Chain A
Amino acid sequence: MRGVFSRGSAKGLAVLAAGVLVLSACSGSGGKEAEEDTGGEGPRLEIAMVTHSAPGDTFWDIVQKGAQAAADKDNVEFLYSADPDGGKQAQLVQAAIDKKVDGIIVTLAKPDAMKDVLARAAAANIPVVSINSGQEESAGLGALAHFGQDESIAGEAAGTELGEIGAKKALCVIHEQGNVGLEARCDGARKTFDGDLENLFVQGSNMPDVKSSITAKLQSDKGIDGILTLGAPFAATAVDSVKEVGSEARIGTFDLNKDLIALLKAGDIEFAVDQQPYLQGYEAVEALWLLKRNGNVLGGGRPVLTGPAIVTKDNAAELEEFANRGTR
């Protein structure tokens, strides 16, 4: 029994007592520790992003990565959901409202479908910002800010580039029929392109079909000397088609990915119009955080443009590292 109260044990008890004293002296709230703990000042925020993306889309993957990066820095819980169908997208926004999140980020590809649910978000005092599509409708539907690339402006930039690479008769490859944004890009390009720009519809979910359709078009019209694709994976396929037909057509595209950087460096693709999807996600989360934490409004009530940024052979190497990481 003596062993229990040996010198060693007594010393241990003393340490324990001291520890208890120190612990009980800690404040449960406030103080330096609380400030450091939360990182983003104040309690953790919850921000939901609801987009019209189809599953597995590279572009939206990068948007999410940007939003997640901002969320990690700002101590924000980032929730993502998406549905290409307007009605179902509205239901997902309603779900976010029901969850009483601190802020909502939406895309307005189908503005009418979102009108009622955004009014309900306003009634629930949840701030909303919009990204990507719906620049015109954004303010009218009560969004505080919009982050995106104006599709027409981006299209115009692409049209100018097409002219610069010397194309006279070009194709605009639409990989999703009836998508307003894609049509707007082609229309924008048509505005600034001096030559003739013709639309070609391909089934984007079926790569062999994309390839054979572009091949068929090049075979039927040997005069085509330029191709503008509206998504990075389709540009790589267009390169194959051009090689197969032995056509002289030069290729430009919208959006970036890592394979595209290699093709840009090799000169197979002349230019890429990047709308910097990473920024759309990042800035939207940051905007809501600034609003909640400091009452700021980014953009001063006007749309904030995230693009177009033109990538060519000259600057492709600088972006390689980021594209390989899947954030450009």
Chain B
Amino acid sequence: MTDAVAEPPVAGRGSDERLARQSPLRRLLGRPELGALLGAVALFVFFSVVADAFLRAGSFSTVLYASSTFGIMAVGVSLLMIGGEFDLSAGVMVTSSALIAALTAYQFTLNVWAGVAISLVLTLALGMVNGLLYVWTRLPSFIITLAMFFMLAGLNLGVTKALTGNVASDSVRDMDGFDAARAVFASDLDVLGLRVKITVLWWLLFVVVATWILLRTRTGNWIFAVGGSAASARAVGVPVARVKIGLFMGVAFCAWFSGMHLVFAFATIQSGEGVGNEFLYIICAVIGGCLLTGGYGSAIGAAIGAFIFGMTNKGIVYAEWNPDWFRFFLGAMLLIATVVNLIVRRRVERTP
């Protein structure tokens, strides 16, 4: 059932294409993340050849760290996109969440864990507001979350300045609970001699959970259904409003986690950060095979998309190309990765 929704329609020989038998290879080729995976392999080989430092273990862990900071958000964003919606407030929401935790902990001289908890509640509430506004007004989520983006950007600066008199939050580095929280959100781990940021493990965990939800639960079916056609989904009894609100809250949860990483990795938060990142998350999801129109995609694909983005982002530095051309190379690499993805998928769809 899940696979039937998750995969693009493939012409079958039988009377009903949905009942057609598929070889395991065909099923693999039909996965949305396959094209992205090939793109990732191609980029990996490419940078291994052009950049001497790229293949070193330390470099790989830096690439993984960069990927994880995009990837954690891409998990929530890809689920939302499969559900047919956008969240343009996601980038700034990360900063909001970090500011909430840092400001409440500092201003009320609380244990930082209290700030973490308050931030979780408030950030989820922000996601819920996004969802409720969408459900009540039936305006495109593009508009709702764009408004939220501006409001949060303004609140981040306004509230921070009102409370601290400056444009950055005060440092929480020497407060109770900081070290424990840092161990959870921003520490280094030793994995088989490779120093890995803990965000990488959290990222993988989130991807596994999201994939399980998508492919093995009823909620997953609902997500594909509301993204494919909300009206049909409603007609067969899917609680569309609840699913969409839940998806916005999923993005908010990821924003909370990323925000906590910012707080405990950097201790002070600049209130103007985060603007523009929302598009990077969407890009990760799209490279990974999510359709902009909803109803198709995967969390694993978004993870590979984030990996491609992190690899390109850091690979250019390892390759020591002229920094003036950085963004051009970044754009060109992304274009190539996405085109490879597209070609692969079209070829798979065409071959009988």
Contacts and interface: CB of A to CB of B under 8 A. Distances in A.
Interface of A: 54-58, 61, 174, 177, 199-201, 203, 205-209, 211-213, 215-217, 219-221, 233, 236-237, 240, 244-245, 257, 259, 326
B62 A212 contact: yes
23 contacts: A57-B167, A199-B324, A200-B317, A203-B276, A205-B274, A207-B270, A208-B66, A209-B66, A212-B62, A212-B65, A212-B313, A212-B314, A213-B317, A216-B66, A216-B317, A217-B317, A219-B53, A220-B317, A233-B270, A244-B188, A257-B166, A259-B171, A259-B268
B352 interface: no
Range, interface on chain B: 35 or more
A208 B59 contact: no
Given A177-B327, A199-B323, A236-B266, A55 B157 contact: yes
Nearest to B269: A207
A326 B317 contact: no
B318 A209 contact: no
A207 B266 contact: yes
Contacts of A237: 266
B275 to A, nearest CB: 5
Contact of A220 (B65, B160, B318): B318
Given A201-B323, A206-B273, A219 B59 contact: yes
B268 A209 contact: no
Interface residue SS majority, chain B: helix
B13 interface: no
Contact of A257 (B51, B168, B273): B168
Given A199-B323, A209-B66, A56 B270 contact: yes
Nearest to B258: A208
Interface of A: prevailing SS: helix
Contacts of A244: 188
A212 B66 CA distance: 6
Nearest 5 A/B pairs, CB to CB: A56-B272, A220-B53, A201-B323, A212-B66, A208-B69
Nearest to B319: A220
A174 B322 CA distance: 13
Contacts of A326: 165-166
Given A177-B326, A221-B320, 12 more contacts: A56-B272, A58-B168, A205-B274, A205-B277, A206-B276, A209-B66, A212-B66, A213-B314, A216-B59, A216-B62, A219-B58, A219-B318
B272 A57 contact: yes
B265 interface: yes
B161 interface: yes
Contacts of A57: 167, 272
A91 to B, nearest CB: 18
B261 interface: yes
B56 interface: yes
B66 A56 contact: no
Contacts of A174: 323
A61 B158 CA distance: 12
Interface in B56-109: 56, 58-59, 62-63, 65-66, 69
Nearest to B199: A208
A126 B270 CA distance: 36
B320 A220 contact: yes
A221 B58 CA distance: 12
Contacts of A54: 272
B273 A207 contact: yes
A208 B168 contact: no
Given A219-B53, A219-B56, A219-B62, A205 B275 contact: yes
Central interface residue in B168, B188, B320, by most chain A CB within 10 Å? B168
A201 B317 CA distance: 9
A203 B167 CA distance: 19
